[in-house]
C-alpha cells in the first residue's frame, strides 16, 4: 500500500482551482472560485438551485476481499474560511475591504483549510447492509490582532467558519462474478440552513470533496481497464460527480489496494510529475510557463497576490526563489514512449531501460539510440544503433515506417498517397476543420503516432496553393474514419 503517492495526487485534486494566476483577489477569474467537487447545501431560498452546487456524490467500485479484509475511507475537503478585516475606529470597529499597516496589506477575502474525516477500518462482512455515517465539521471564529510598529492596535482580522454536516452511506453487495463485491458510497451535504445567495451556499459546502478508499487483505478492480471477466460488471458501476481510479500499487493487472474517488476525471495510478516544484493550483497549465509568468509579475502585483492568500504568497515566494537548475528541471524530460511495451533500449542507461525513468540531455548522447520497429536495414539487427544521426522520435529510426508508401484502411479498402478522398470531419473537429466538410482532397502521406493511431495528411484538390503546401509540408490531418473514398 502506497498511501503517500495517493495523498500527493489527492492533495493536487483538493487544491485544484483554489486560486488562479495571477493569484490576486482583484482578478476576474478569482471572483468565482471552487470549481470542483463542491457538495452544496440542499436548502436554497425560493428554489433557486443555481446558487448552490449539487449536494450529493455517488461512487461504485468493485473489490475482491481476502480472509479478514478490512475497508477504510477518508473523506477530504476544504472548509471555507471567511476573512474579514475590522478597522479600529473611535467608535469601535468598522468592516473594510482593505487596510495597510506598516506596509502589510490586509484584505477581506475567502480562504480555506484542508480537512479529513477518517472512517474504519470496517470488517467487510459488517457492510453487507447499509452503514450510515455522520459527517460533521464544527464552525468557529478566530481573531488576529494587527498592531503597528509602536504596538498600537490598528485592526482585527476575523476568520469565520460555518459548521458543516452531512452523511456517508456505505453498502456492499455481491457482484455477478464469484469472489467479487460491489461497494456503493453515497455522500450528502445535510446542512439545515436555507441559503439565499452563492456566498452563503459556498460557506456551507464541502469543497473539493473526494475519497481515499483503502482495503487490507483485498484488492480493488479498475473501472477504466478492468481485469478479464469483470468488463460487464465495471460497465454497470454508476458514478455521479465523482470518478474512482486506482491509486495504490502500479502493477498492470488492473488491481490495487487503494482507490481515489476524484471529482475530476483521472487515469488509473495518477502521479504528480517528479519535475513539479510544488502546487500552482492549476493542473491544466504547464508548470514552466506558469512559473515564468509568476516571476515576471511586478513587485506591486506580487504584493497584491501575497496579500490575497497565504497559499498564494507561498507560490510567489517559491517561484522567486527558484534557481537556474530548478527552472531547467521544469523544462521537461524525454520518456521512452515504448517503455511500457517492453521494448529494450540498448545503449540507454539501465534505470531508463527497465522503468522508463526520465532522462535529461546530459545523461547520454540522444543520437546514440536503438532502431525501434519490426525491421532494420540490411546487416543491422533489431536494437542496433542507426547509421545516421537520428533521434529516436524521427521516422527514419524505424525502418518499418514509410509515410509516403504506408496505407490505411478506409471503407474496406487500403488507400495511401495519391488517393482522392472526401472530408467528413467529426472527431473533436474545430471550426477550421468544419470549413472543409464535404470537400475532396488528395492523400499525401499516412502517419502513425506513438500510441498506434493513424493520421492521414491531405491537401485540397481545388486549392490553387496545394503544390506549395505540399512542398512546405503544410498538410491537413484527419483520422481515417473522417474520410471516405470518392466514387
Beta bridge partners of 155: 87, 146
Q: Residue 384 carries which DSSP code?
A: P
CA distance 433 to 478: 9
CA 250 from chain centre, in angstroms, equals 18
Beta bridge partners of 218: 65
Which 3 state secondary structure label does DSSP give 479?
Answer: coil
CA distance 21 to 228: 44
User: What is the per-residue pLDDT for 176?
Assistant: 86
User: What is the per-residue pLDDT for 130?
Assistant: 77
User: What is the per-residue pLDDT for 432?
Assistant: 82
On whether the CB atoms of residues 200 and 73 are closer than 8 A, the answer is no
Q: What is the pTM of this model?
A: 0.70
Closest CA to 369 of 352, 391, 340, 343: 391
User: What is the per-residue pLDDT for 120?
Assistant: 84
Concatenated DSSP letters of 50-102 = GGS--SEEEEEEEEEEEEEEEEEEEEEEEEEEEEEEEEEETTEEEEESEEEET
CA distance 385 to 369: 6
On whether the CB atoms of residues 181 and 124 are closer than 8 A, the answer is yes
User: What is the per-residue pLDDT for 403?
Assistant: 85
Give every CB contact of residue 262 below 8 A, 6+ residues apart in sequence.
10, 13, 37, 210, 242, 243, 244, 245
User: What is the per-residue pLDDT for 277?
Assistant: 83
Residues of the chain with confidence (pLDDT) below 50:
340-387
User: What is the per-residue pLDDT for 249?
Assistant: 62
Beta bridge partners of 172: 183
CA distance 312 to 304: 10
Which 3 state secondary structure label does DSSP give 318?
Answer: helix
Amino acid at each position: 500500500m502506497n498511501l503517500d503517492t495517493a495523498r500527493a495526487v489527492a492533495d493536487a485534486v483538493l487544491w485544484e482551482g483554489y486560486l488562479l494566476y495571477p493569484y490576486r483577489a482583484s482578478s476576474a477569474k478569482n471572483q468565482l472560485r471552487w470549481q470542483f467537487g463542491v457538495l452544496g447545501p440542499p436548502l436554497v431560498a425560493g428554489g433557486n438551485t443555481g446558487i448552490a452546487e449539487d449536494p450529493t456524490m455517488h461512487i461504485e467500485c468493485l473489490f475482491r476481499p481476502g480472509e479478514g479484509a478490512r475497508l477504510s475511507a477518508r473523506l477530504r475537503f476544504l472548509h471555507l474560511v471567511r476573512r474579514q478585516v475590522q478597522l479600529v475606529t473611535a467608535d469601535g470597529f468598522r468592516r473594510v475591504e482593505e487596510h495597510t499597516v506598516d506596509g502589510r496589506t490586509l484584505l477581506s477575502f475567502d480562504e480555506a483549510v484542508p480537512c479529513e474525516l477518517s472512517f474504519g477500518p470496517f470488517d467487510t462482512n459488517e457492510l453487507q447492509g447499509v452503514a450510515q455515517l455522520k459527517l460533521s465539521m464544527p464552525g468557529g471564529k478566530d481573531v488576529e490582532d494587527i498592531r503597528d510598529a509602536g504596538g498600537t492596535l490598528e485592526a482585527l482580522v476575523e476568520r469565520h467558519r460555518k459548521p458543516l454536516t452531512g452523511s456517508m452511506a456505505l453498502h456492499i453487495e455481491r457482484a455477478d462474478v464469484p469472489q467479487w463485491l460491489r461497494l456503493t458510497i453515497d455522500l450528502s451535504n445535510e446542512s439545515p440552513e436555507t441559503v439565499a445567495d452563492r456566498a452563503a451556499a459556498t460557506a456551507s459546502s464541502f469543497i473539493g470533496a473526494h475519497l481515499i478508499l483503502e482495503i487490507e487483505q483485498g484488492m480493488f478492480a479498475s473501472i477504466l481497464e478492468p481485469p478479464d471477466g469483470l468488463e460487464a460488471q465495471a460497465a454497470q458501476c454508476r458514478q455521479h460527480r465523482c470518478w474512482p481510479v486506482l491509486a495504490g500499487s502500479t502493477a498492470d493487472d488492473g488491481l490495487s489496494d487503494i482507490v481515489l474517488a476524484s471529482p475530476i476525471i483521472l487515469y488509473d495510478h495518477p502521479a504528480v510529475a517528479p519535475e513539479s516544484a510544488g502546487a500552482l493550483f492549476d493542473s491544466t497549465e504547464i508548470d514552466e510557463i506558469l512559473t515564468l509568468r509568476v516571476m515576471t509579475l511586478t513587485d506591486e502585483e506580487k504584493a497584491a497576490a501575497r496579500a490575497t492568500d497565504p497559499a498564494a504568497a507561498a507560490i510567489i515566494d517559491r517561484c522567486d526563489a527558484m534557481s537556474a537548475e530548478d527552472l531547467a528541471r521544469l523544462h521537461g524530460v524525454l520518456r521512452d514512449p515504448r517503455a511500457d511495451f517492453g521494448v529494450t533500449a540498448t545503449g540507454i542507461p539501465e534505470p531508463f531501460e527497465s522503468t522508463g525513468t526520465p532522462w535529461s540531455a546530459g545523461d547520454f548522447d540522444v543520437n546514440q539510440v536503438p532502431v525501434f520497429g519490426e525491421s532494420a536495414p540490411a546487416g543491422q539487427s533489431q536494437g542496433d544503433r542507426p547509421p545516421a544521426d537520428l533521434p529516436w522520435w524521427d521516422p527514419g529510426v524505424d525502418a518499418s515506417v514509410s509515410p509516403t508508401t504506408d496505407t490505411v484502411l478506409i471503407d474496406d479498402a487500403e488507400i495511401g498517397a495519391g488517393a482522392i478522398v472526401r472530408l467528413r470531419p467529426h472527431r473533436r473537429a474545430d471550426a477550421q476543420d468544419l470549413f472543409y466538410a464535404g470537400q475532396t482532397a488528395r492523400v499525401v502521406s499516412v502517419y502513425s503516432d506513438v500510441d498506434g493511431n493513424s493520421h492521414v495528411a491531405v491537401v485540397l484538390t481545388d486549392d490553387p496553393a496545394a503544390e506549395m503546401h505540399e512542398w512546405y509540408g503544410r498538410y491537413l490531418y484527419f483520422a481515417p474514419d473522417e474520410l471516405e473514398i470518392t466514387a
